[in-house]
């Protein structure tokens, strides 16, 4: 049976982080398929968003035509969306023993509005603690993609949102911020080289996920038991 170490819930909470264009969505889909093939049914979600209220905030924050705002107002909006997200999506699912995988979570605010945006990190940490009620992921996978060139190439094919339109300098700070984050929270952050080929990245992520699921009491060698544990 799954245990309750970490978040205090029987479920497992995993976040996937990284700068824009680092391949998170592709890896989310692959990870989800792997878990489903074992008979597990993870809750796949994202921030900002996940709830109807959060999706409206997402639109306001990311629409390239939305009005400019101060970095602090922006921080508070992310926190408001997160508060709703945690209480309506994450906590109920973890309490039911589900595996929750979110593309972005509180660490994105730490990096984008704090480290890169200049809001003091102590303020971000306080706000995150209020919005999440102190709920931290069991595992945070940070996809790093070292070369700006590659990120820009990946983003070139899409219409950039409000945040992606920020300067190269800002995005460089975001990349640095993720490296700092890994140093700040080494107990839960796994840094993954997103510049490797897609299969290698998938395999590294899978190993990290297997480790955390095993620690939480899932037996992935036994598909049936995995299914029964949910």
Residues near ligand TMP, by CB under 6 A: 20, 46-48, 62, 78, 104, 108-109, 112-113, 163-164
Shortest Cβ 90–ligand TMP spacing (Å): 13
Rounded to a whole number of angstroms, the minimum distance from the CB of residue 61 to ligand TMP is: 7
CB of 15 to ligand TMP, least distance (A): 10
Assess contact for 171 and 148: CB atoms under 8 A.
yes
CB-nearer residue toward ligand TMP: 2 or 18: 18
Distance in Å, CB of 26 to ligand TMP, minimum: 12
CA separation for the pair 108, 93 (Å, rounded): 21
Residue number, 85 or 191, with CB nearest to ligand TMP: 85
CB closer to ligand TMP, 164 vs 208: 164
Taking the complex as a whole, how short is the minimal distance between the CB of residue 35 and ligand TMP, in angstroms? 21
Angstrom distance (rounded) from CA 101 to CA 90 = 9
DSSP category for residue 164: T
As a whole number of angstroms, the distance between CA 131 and CA 123 comes to 12
Helices (H), the chain: 24-37, 52-62, 71-85, 91-95, 106-109, 121-132, 148-156, 168-184, 198-215, 223-228
- The first and second tokens of residue 48, run together, are 């900002």
With H, G, I as helix, E, B as strand and everything else as coil, classify residue 174: helix
Query: Distance between CA 11 and CA 4 in Å, rounded?
Result: 7
- We find the least distance from the C-beta atom of residue 188 to ligand TMP, in angstroms, to be 17
Q: How far is 208 from 229, CA to CA, in rounded Å?
A: 20
Closer Cβ to ligand TMP, 40 or 143, answer by number:
143
């Amino acid at each position: 049976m799954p245990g309750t170490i970490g978040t205090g819930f029987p479920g497992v909470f995993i976040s996937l982080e990284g700068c824009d264009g680092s391949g998170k969505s592709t890896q989310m889909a692959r990870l989800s398929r792997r878990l489903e093939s074992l008979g597990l049914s993870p809750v796949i979600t994202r921030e900002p968003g996940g709830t109807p209220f959060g999706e409206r905030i997402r639109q306001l924050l990311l629409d390239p035509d939305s009005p400019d705002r101060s970095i602090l107002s922006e921080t508070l909006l992310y926190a408001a969306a997160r508060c709703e997200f945690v209480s309506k999506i994450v906590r109920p699912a973890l309490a039911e023993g589900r595996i929750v995988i979110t593309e972005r979570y509180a660490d994105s605010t730490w990096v984008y509005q704090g480290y890169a945006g200049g809001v003091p990190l102590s303020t971000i940490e306080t706000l995150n603690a209020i919005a999440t009620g102190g709920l931290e992921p069991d595992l945070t996978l940070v996809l790093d993609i070292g070369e700006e060139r590659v990120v820009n190439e990946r983003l070139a094919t899409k219409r950039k949102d409000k945040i992606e339109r920020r300067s190269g300098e800002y995005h460089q700070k975001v990349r640095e911020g993720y490296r700092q984050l890994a140093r700040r929270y080494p107990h839960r952050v796994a840094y993954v080289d997103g510049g490797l080929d897609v299969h290698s990245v998938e395999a590294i992520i899978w190993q990290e996920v297997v480790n955390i699921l095993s620690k939480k009491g899932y037996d992935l060698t036994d598909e049936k038991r995995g299914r029964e544990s949910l």
